[in-house]
Amino acid sequence: MSKNNPQFPYADLGLRLRRVRERLQESLVEASGAVEIEVEALEAIETGKNRPSEDILMLLISHFEVREDEAEQIWELAGYESSKQAEDVESLAGRAQQEQGQPVMVMPGDLRIVYTDMLHVSVNDYGVVMNFMQGSGPKSPPLAIARVGMSREHAQSVLEVLQRTLSQAAQKSLPQQVQSPKKPGASTDRRSKSDQTDKRTS
């Protein structure tokens, strides 16, 4: 981080992010909308006035599809713990496959269901990482509620299972065509009207 100007302590970080955005020819409006923050908030980040939260920085890196080595540098400029972004799940999974296929055991700490309304997916040499986010208000940045990493092959199988399950659920929810029963006495009414007509003509 820059120590030259106390008003802009993260000028180096902001400059790097701005160059990445301009390299992709994205406007402030487009980039801020992609990560669901205000334009003013992104502008303050790029000028170095404010430091983005870890969640927002992660979203920016994912949205810009920054290379892993450059993402490492950006993470360090922000002053956050680096080391492959705090030993991401995909790094652990990649090393486990290399070390004689030894599995990585993850003990669940909380099995409650969490709901998400936003998803960012990033792919690199280690596999796929899905960042599940939850909005916290119209003017508040989204919060990361879960990060799941897996191999590309497993991600493809997850996609197939999800599509198949949703298709089956859609088929079950289709309304069945049921013929409405005839109202009692309906045929009797028609016959009675016919009889009345015959009586008038006779």
pLDDT at 83: 46
pLDDT at 86: 45
Q: Hey, where are the domains in the chain?
A: 1-87, 88-169
Look at 119 and 191; give whichever has higher pLDDT: 119
Residues 167-192: what's their mean pLDDT? Answer: 62
**Tens-place pLDDT, residues 129-166:** 888 888 777 666 777 788 888 888 888 999 999 998 98
Q: Name the residue among 82, 69, 65, 90 with its Cα closest to residue 152.
A: 90
73 burial (CB, 10 Å; 0-12 / 13-18 / 19+) is: middle
**pLDDT > 50? residue 100:** no
118 burial (CB, 10 Å; 0-12 / 13-18 / 19+) is: middle
Those residues with Cβ within 8 angstroms of residue 136's Cβ, 6 or more apart along the chain or in another chain = 142, 143
Inter-CA distances, 157 with 4, 152, 162, 164, Å = 51, 9, 9, 11
Cβ count near 195 (within 10 Å): 10
- What DSSP string runs through 49-75? SSPPPHHHHHHHHHHHT--HHHHHHHH
- Given pLDDT bands bounded at 50, 70 and 90, which one contains residue 185? low
**Tens-place pLDDT, residues 4-52:** 677 888 999 999 999 999 999 999 999 988 888 899 999 999 999 999 9
CB 150 within 8 A of CB 158: yes
pLDDT at 42: 94
pTM over 0.75: no
* Lookup result for tokens 């939850």: 134
**Tens-place pLDDT, residues 165-179:** 988 888 887 665 555
CB 119 within 8 A of CB 132: yes
For domain 1-87, the question of CATH label 3.40.366.10 is answered with: no
Task: Give the percent of the chain with pLDDT over 90.
Answer: 19
Give the integer Cα–Cα distance in Å for 42 and 45.
5
